Every structure is written in structure tokens, then in C-alpha cells.
Amino acid sequence: MKVLKFGGTSVGSVESLRNVKQIVEACQGQVMVVVSALGGVTNQLIDMTGRAQAGDAAYEDILVQVRQRHLDVIAGVVPVPQQQQCNAIVEQFVEGMSSFCSMLCLNHDLPADMAANIKDAIVAHGEIMSSAIVTCLIDGAEPHFSPNFIKTRRVDGADTLDTDLTRRLIVEHLGQSKAQRLVMQGFIADDADTGMKTNLGRGGSDYTAALVAAALGAECLEIWTDVDGFMTADPRTHPDATVIPSMTYEQAQRMCDAGAKVIYPPTLRPVAERHIPVWVKNTFNPSAPGTVIQ
């Protein structure tokens, strides 16, 4: 069994989603697909919650844009017989976000922790909507809701993964599935004590995928992104950067800790502990060999 994680740009457009479908459907054996929100959507949702809380009606424009982006993607990529159902799912989530935003906008004296909970619940919709689309897109995909098994607790004011509980719940929820293709959200979680939506931090979908791979003893974890592999430097700022074909976990961890955004820093530890190889691959250039971290 393999775990494949697709980042924001990989699920961000009709063209890239077509590649995602091909990559997943070409896999032999069981595949766990972990998806981020459509590229840029998490930023938009965070911006939207801030505006709603500040009483700025411009939040509604952002919601309109987010809704239209998802409907356009569905029209471009989801098979026609499933489009209506997929649209209805997105509309229902948009309505949910709209109600949450009204709550923030109209109640100026909400306690800070309640406002924070509502904001996290809104932001979680990015991954919830993208995973709904990917589920409709991939033949035979079985949907799973990550907050049912990715659990955080409040520690020193921060949402912190409950490692043991999460590992046990992943095995309980996913370990018995006979489906060949499972789809779940990256990034999002539930607070184990309150049941409120939380998340693993910005870029946290990589970490979700690593937790699933480690708990289930996957044969590998594949991080599908928008560059040809782990590179000597960020190619956006260093055009002469080159792909590193093979790295140790330690080498990759040092570069992640130093800011290499291609992998979220907490990701490597759970897979390194179980000696699970991590591949960094390009959704836009799947035949490129990529980087293996082992």
C-alpha cells in the first residue's frame, strides 16, 4: 500500500487534476490519497475569516470567488454524471461557511476561543471541498474524513498532535478498508477533547500523509508537488538549483528545518522511524525521477 499526497497546486486546476487522476489510477495495489485545499484557497479562507470578524462585508466577495473556483473545476474535470452531486456537496459547504462567517461578523463580543474555533472550522472547508472533488474524480474512490482519526489536544495554547491516539485511530478507520483507492483530507483534525475542528499548521497535509503512511506501514510515501524533486535550493529564488536524486532522512530534515518549504518539517520523523521511503515527485512532470529520501 502506498500513500500519495497531492499539494495545493496539484489539485488547483483542471489540468493538474487530470494528472492526479492518471497518477492515482495508474498505481497497482491500494492507494491512500491525501489532498490539500485547491492552491491559494486556504489563504483566501483565512483572509475571509479575518474580514468577517472585523465586520467587513467584503468577506462575501471572497466566498463568491471560492465557490465559483470549485464549481469551475468540477465542470472541467468531474465526469458529467457526478457533476450535479459534486456541485451540491460544494454548495452545501459554501452555505456552512456563509453561516459561520455571519456568526463572526454579527457577534462582535464572541469570546476569543469561540471565534478561533469558528475560524478553524471555516478554514477546514478548503480540504473538505478539494477532497470531495477528488473523490468524485477518481474511479472507485472511498472517501474518509480525516478529523475522525487525526486528533489534536491543546498543549500550552497550541493545537498539538495526539500521536498515540492518532496512530490507533488511523489503524481502526483505514486499516480494514478493502477499497483500492481511499481519499482523505490533509491538514485538518479534530480536538480530541472538544470535537472542534483544528489543523496541523500551514503546510500540514504532508504531515497527515506521513502519519497515515507510518501507522499503516506503507511501502512508501509520495509527496506530489510542483517541482521535479527536492532541490539544492528553492528554484523560485535560485533558478540554478538542481534536483537531488537521493537523500537521507537527516539531510532532508536539515534542509526542511532551514526552510525548504517542499516538505513540512514534522513530516519526516514518523516515516523515518518506520524506514518508509519518501518520494518527492512533480505532478506536472510525472516521468521525472524525483527525489527519494530514505
Which residues of this chain interact with ligand ASP, rule CB under 6 A?
A: 7-8, 36-37, 42, 126, 186-187, 202-205
DSSP run (H or E) holding 135? helix 125-137
Q: How far is the CB of 81 from ligand ASP (least distance, A)?
A: 29
Q: Residues near 103 by Cβ (< 8 Å), separated by ≥ 6?
A: 110, 118
Binders of Mg ion among residues 148 to 207 (CB under 5 A) are 203
Select from ligand ASP, ligand ADP, Mg ion, none the partner in contact with residue 204, using the beta carbon and a kind-dependent cut-off of 5 to 8 Å. ligand ASP
**90 is a site residue for ligand ADP (CB under 6 A):** no
Q: Which residue has the cell 477532497?
A: 131
**247 is a site residue for ligand ADP (CB under 6 A):** no
Burial class, 25, CB count within 10 angstroms (exposed 0-12 / middle 13-18 / buried 19+)? middle
Secondary structure tally for the chain: helices H, strands E: 10, 12
Select from ligand ADP, ligand ASP, Mg ion, none the partner in contact with residue 290, using the beta carbon and a kind-dependent cut-off of 5 to 8 Å. none
Binders of ligand ADP among residues 9 to 28 (CB under 6 A) are 9-10
Tell me whether strands 141-143 and 291-293 are parallel, antiparallel or unpaired: unpaired
The residue (of 8 and 147) whose beta carbon lies closer to ligand ADP is: 8
Task: Quote the Cα angle for 186-78-189, to 5°.
Answer: 15
Q: Which stretch binds Mg ion (CB under 5 A): 4-12, 46-54, 215-223, 282-290?
A: 4-12
SS3 90: helix
**Closest-CA residue to 100 (of 74, 79, 131, 123):** 123
Select from ligand ADP, Mg ion, ligand ASP, none the partner in contact with residue 12, using the beta carbon and a kind-dependent cut-off of 5 to 8 Å. none
Alpha helix stretches (DSSP H) within 35-79: 41-53, 59-77
SS3 258: coil
Select from ligand ADP, ligand ASP, Mg ion, none the partner in contact with residue 260, using the beta carbon and a kind-dependent cut-off of 5 to 8 Å. ligand ADP
**262 is a site residue for ligand ADP (CB under 6 A):** yes
The residue (of 146 and 225) whose beta carbon lies closer to ligand ADP is: 225
**39 is a site residue for Mg ion (CB under 5 A):** no
**36 is a site residue for ligand ADP (CB under 6 A):** yes
SS3 161: strand
Residue ranges binding Mg ion (CB under 5 A): 7, 203
Residue ranges binding ligand ADP (CB under 6 A): 7-10, 36, 203, 225-227, 230-231, 233-236, 255, 260-262
